[in-house]
Structure 1
Amino acid sequence: MDDFAGTQTPVRRLTDPTEAIAALELAVPGLASLRLPAPAVINWPALEAGLGVNLPADYKLLCEIYPPFVIGDFLGVGAPTPGCEDAWVQGTREELETIADWCKEADLTVPLHPYPAPGGLLPWAGSTQGDFFLWTTSPADPREWTVTVASRSSVWWHYTGGAVQFLAELVGGVLEPWALPRLCAEVAAF
């Protein structure tokens, strides 16, 4: 049995991080009220050196202008705390161990592997139910990375847009939430 639900593709991929944030703010109107008074100063070079890879600009912008938040009391998007980038890298490495186990257990026609394997999966968000929202780290340019969803119910699927656009389209009802609940647009900082 194959646990792969399929691939969803945006009508138009949003490559400008500001445009992706605007789409998310439109889908989640309360998000704008959580904006930080000043952008967080995250040491991205140190964090990315610790991970061994550069991260997508839309995600970095999201982390700089918003605190960690949860959408629909389900999907949590964390962010590195300035000055604690090493702890964030360590937490990501620990999540990669769990993802490695999930990849081994998944019954997928095309096997998936955690980062740092070529094109490996790297977590960027999670759910309160234990689902993972991951980047597929291929091709080499992070602006072109796509999203892979690994649900707790063992259903995996892909979205060929970026992380912030994924959030906007998932909450906005554009995407079929395969193996995930439909999300309401309520948002809260955590």
Structure 2
Amino acid sequence: MKDDLIATQTPKCRITDPEKALAALERAVPGLADLRRPEPAAIDWAVLEGSLGTALPCDYQYLAEWYPPFAVGGFLLIALPEPGKEHDTLRGIRDSLDVLADAWLEPHIGLRSHPAPGGLLPRAESDESDKFLWSTTEDTPQDWIVTIASRSGGWWHYSGGALQFLAEYCDGTLEPWALPPVAPEATPCGAGGRERRSGH
């Protein structure tokens, strides 16, 4: 399978404003706003971007500044950097890149991992090891698209940003090719990005 043969879903209108993208996600996952910080966190983006060798999309930065790591539907784990723990985030990204290169990317698929030009950069995963990635092929991070690699072997692209993808996945706007439907429920994550369950 070559990259130009991987199917793509395209949103009716790409949301480029981070505030509007986050508002769409909060509408799609009504309980998410309960996890929102009272004020934006001061994350050292220079540490992350300097080590990765690339800027990161504004919608991702905006989400991370307003939200701690969380899970959606007990399935999709959104790992986000936290103040003072940027190096932990980098370790997680590097570990994910190693797994991606070793176990997911085969020569015939026509895709490479970051830092190769246009390479895939991990941004989230499911508790069943489905991968949610950025394709860094466009001119600026604001133009990057989302690439999905499902555990079942299905690969596809979504030509919108990460927050818009998550909103449309949760509200049922897009077809969840090779993925299960996800319940629009948000749960905070503890250390390591795992879902933190309350109670018993």
Report the alpha carbon displacement of residue 93 of structure 1 after superposing the two structures with TM. Answer: 1.0
Map of 1:104 onto structure 2: 106
- 3-state SS of 1:149 partner: strand
Taking the TM superposition and a 5 Å limit, the aligned residue runs for 1:19-98 are: 19-98=20-99
Deviation at residue 155 of structure 1 after TM alignment = 0.7
* Structure 1 residue 35, shift from structure 2 partner: 0.3
- The CA distance in 2 between the partners of 1:77 and 1:164, in whole Å, is 11
Compute the displacement of 1:2 (Å): 7.7
Aligned-pair CA distance for 1:140: 2.8
Q: Is the 8 A contact 1:124 1:133 kept in 2?
A: yes
Per-residue CA deviation, residues 74-117 of structure 1 (Å, 9 max, x unaligned), is 00101112112122112211110111121127x53xx1000001
Aligned Cα root-mean-square deviation (Å): 1.5
Identify which range, 166-175 or 84-93, moves more after superposition.
84-93
Aligned AA (2:152): S
**Distance (whole Å) between structure 1 residues aligned to residue 6 and residue 178 of structure 2:** 9
**Within 1, Cα distance between the matches of 2:70 and 2:87?**
20
Contact 1:50-1:86 at 8 Å conserved across structures: no
Provide the TM-score with structure 2 as the length reference. 0.89
Aligned-pair identity (%)? 53
The question of whether the paired residues in 2 share the 8 Å contact of 1:5 and 1:178 is answered with no
Contact 2:28 2:171 in 1 (8 A): yes
Distance 1:81 1:29 in 2: 23
* Secondary structure at 2:105 match in 1: helix
What secondary structure sits across from 2:64 in the alignment?
helix
Alignment of 1:1-190 (within 5 A): 6-101=7-102, 102-104=104-106, 108=109, 111-190=110-189
Q: Is the 8 A contact 2:64 2:82 kept in 1?
A: no
- Deviation readout 1:63-82 (Å, 9 max, x if unpaired): 11011111111001011121
Q: Provide structure 2 residue ranges, at least 5 long, that are not aligned to the other structure.
A: 190-200
Gaps of 5+ in 1: none
2:198: which partner in 1?
Answer: none
**SS of 2:125's equivalent?**
strand
